[in-house]
């Protein structure tokens, strides 16, 4: 299986021939699995701070804004962008029996909410494994409950959503989930991160340093049961990278520090490397 790996600037959000593909990793390394945006593709998770997922990006997501768009699209379409699709048209998505990836990210933050996720969960997409909810503050723990009903769900780009520790608990008990990006999820505390760290299937994990201490970060790393890739967004460079990376190395976990998340890039912030504050 492939994995996420961050990095490259996010392409512009201009559409057509397709919806924006946020953050495709420059180098894909074989590994057990995982979005960043990528967790993150969703699967397109965004690289720059979102775990990057190295999947098949030969095709951009098909932008679907109406029932007419759905009717015109090939039944073999497996990657779609539906942030503008009216919720009453969601049942028509059942046409795409091979659907694997769904994207909702928008600069406006209006791409998805709990009711849209409920409608998506009722489509019956048995192959859907990657959901990109970057910058969707209307998504809460209720929406995560609905997504958990997807049998093949593996990757979730949740950066900028409103989920809390309760949502983390739901994901921690979903055996198919292998990649989650929680950067800028301000309702998630160290308690929620610890619950996900205990997941026996989570391969790759992303979160923000905001609201945490370095001891919190070290505890999360120490509790990771299965992860091999952990990305931490630390805009102010407050983390002691030597100590944190050493903690990861003792468990064969690659620790990646980023100055920005995918959300910052989506909103137009210029890319900048992480550096430790002196």
pLDDT digits (tens, 9 = 90+) for 134-166: 999 999 999 999 999 999 999 999 999 999 999
Give the chain's largest Cα–Cα span. 57
Considering only residues 118 and 31, tell me which one the structure prediction assigns the higher pLDDT: 118
Does the pLDDT value for residue 91 go beyond 90?
yes
Per-residue pLDDT reduced to its tens digit, 96-147: 999 999 999 999 999 999 999 999 999 999 999 999 999 999 999 999 999 9
Smallest Cα–Cα separation from 78: which of 97, 54, 50, 106? 97
What's residue 60's pLDDT? 87
Enumerate residues 6+ apart whose C-beta is below 8 A from 162.
137, 138, 139, 140, 185, 187
Q: Is the pTM of this model over 0.85?
A: no
DSSP string, 132-169: E-TT-TB--HHHHHHHTT-TT--EEE-TT----HHHHH
How many Å is the Cα radius of gyration of the chain?
A: 17
Considering only residues 46 and 195, tell me which one the structure prediction assigns the higher pLDDT: 195
57-61, 109-113, 255-259: which has the minimum mean pLDDT?
57-61
What's residue 190's pLDDT? 97
SS3 231: strand
Q: What is the mean pLDDT of the chain?
A: 84
What's residue 46's pLDDT? 34
Considering only residues 233 and 30, tell me which one the structure prediction assigns the higher pLDDT: 233
Cis ω for the linkage preceding 12 (within 30 of 0): no
The CATH fold assigned to 62-266 is: 3.80.10
Domain boundaries, the chain: 62-266
Reported as a pLDDT band with limits 50, 70 and 90, residue 10 is very low
Residues in the chain: 278
What's residue 23's pLDDT? 35
Does the pLDDT value for residue 93 go beyond 50?
yes
Does the pLDDT value for residue 176 go beyond 90?
yes
CA distance 155 to 33: 9
């Amino acid at each position: 299986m492939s994995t996420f790996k961050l990095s490259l600037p996010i392409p512009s959000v201009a559409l057509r021939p397709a919806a924006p593909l946020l953050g495709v990793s420059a180098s894909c390394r074989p590994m057990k699995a995982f979005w960043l945006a990528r967790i993150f593709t969703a699967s397109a998770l965004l690289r720059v701070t979102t775990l990057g997922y190295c999947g098949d990006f030969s095709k951009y997501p098909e932008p679907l804004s109406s029932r007419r768009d759905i009717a015109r699209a090939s039944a073999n379409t497996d990657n779609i962008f539906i942030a503008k699709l009216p919720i009453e048209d969601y049942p028509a998505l059942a046409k795409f029996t091979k659907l694997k990836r769904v994207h909702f990210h928008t600069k406006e933050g209006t791409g998805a909410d709990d009711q849209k996720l409920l409608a998506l969960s009722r489509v019956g997409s048995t192959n859907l494994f990657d959901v990109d909810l970057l910058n969707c503050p209307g998504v809460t723990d209720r929406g995560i409950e609905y997504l958990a009903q997807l049998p093949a769900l593996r990757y979730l780009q949740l950066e900028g959503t409103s989920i809390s520790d309760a949502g983390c608990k739901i994901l921690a008990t979903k055996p198919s989930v292998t990649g989650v990006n929680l950067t800028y999820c301000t309702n998630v505390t160290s308690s929620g991160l610890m619950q996900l760290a205990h997941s026996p299937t989570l391969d790759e994990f992303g979160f923000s340093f905001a609201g945490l201490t370095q001891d919190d970060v070290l505890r999360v790393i120490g509790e990771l049961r299965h992860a091999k890739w952990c990305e931490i967004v630390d805009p102010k460079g407050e983390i002691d990278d030597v100590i944190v990376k050493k903690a990861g190395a003792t468990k064969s976990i690659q620790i990646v520090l980023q100055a920005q998340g995918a959300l910052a890039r989506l909103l137009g912030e210029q890319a900048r490397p992480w550096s430790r504050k002196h």
